A = this chain, B = another copy of it.
């Protein structure tokens, strides 16, 4: 649903056609969505059928006609509803990179450490990239700041993990050995 909120929110500020929307998201809002082009088109079609947006055909030169979308009244309503829901809620992220962490003990300690140090470097690199993004206007700056804040926190966490692995000791509060919990034998 958040993708709908995104599209509606942008269209509310200014009407656009599909490619423009996609391009705008790519350039300014990539940090909060991974909507692909085809998905954007799919959702626009769907929301048009559902009556939240309406399209006007526009011809420029002798290019093929483009559909320029704008919000309808019920689209405005949906936008507000989705915005209110979004703001009040917290969605716990899924750290899929942690899947590897769960199987850390399947690799020789030195190998695992080397790989984690590489991850650490990748993160530092990205942090520098984010810090070097020229100041975006409006709320985008806020979103980038959020990414930076998060990344710093993640770097700190991974740093501690690496340090504790280097000590050969378990990381704080982790009892016993590494590895995922023992699996009960099949019933």
Q: Which residues of A contact B (CB under 8 A)?
A: 2, 5-6, 9-10, 12-17, 20, 24, 28-29, 31-34, 58, 60, 68, 79-80, 83-84, 86-107, 112, 115-116, 118-119, 122-123, 126, 135-143, 145-147, 149-151, 153-154, 156-157, 161, 171-183, 185-187
Contacts and interface: CB of A to CB of B under 8 A. Distances in A.
A12 B179 CA distance: 12
A5 B100 contact: yes
A70 to B, nearest CB: 12
A179 B138 contact: yes
* Max count, chain B CB within 10 A of own CB: residue among A17, A29, A137, A161: A137
Contact of A93 (B29, B93, B141, B173): B93
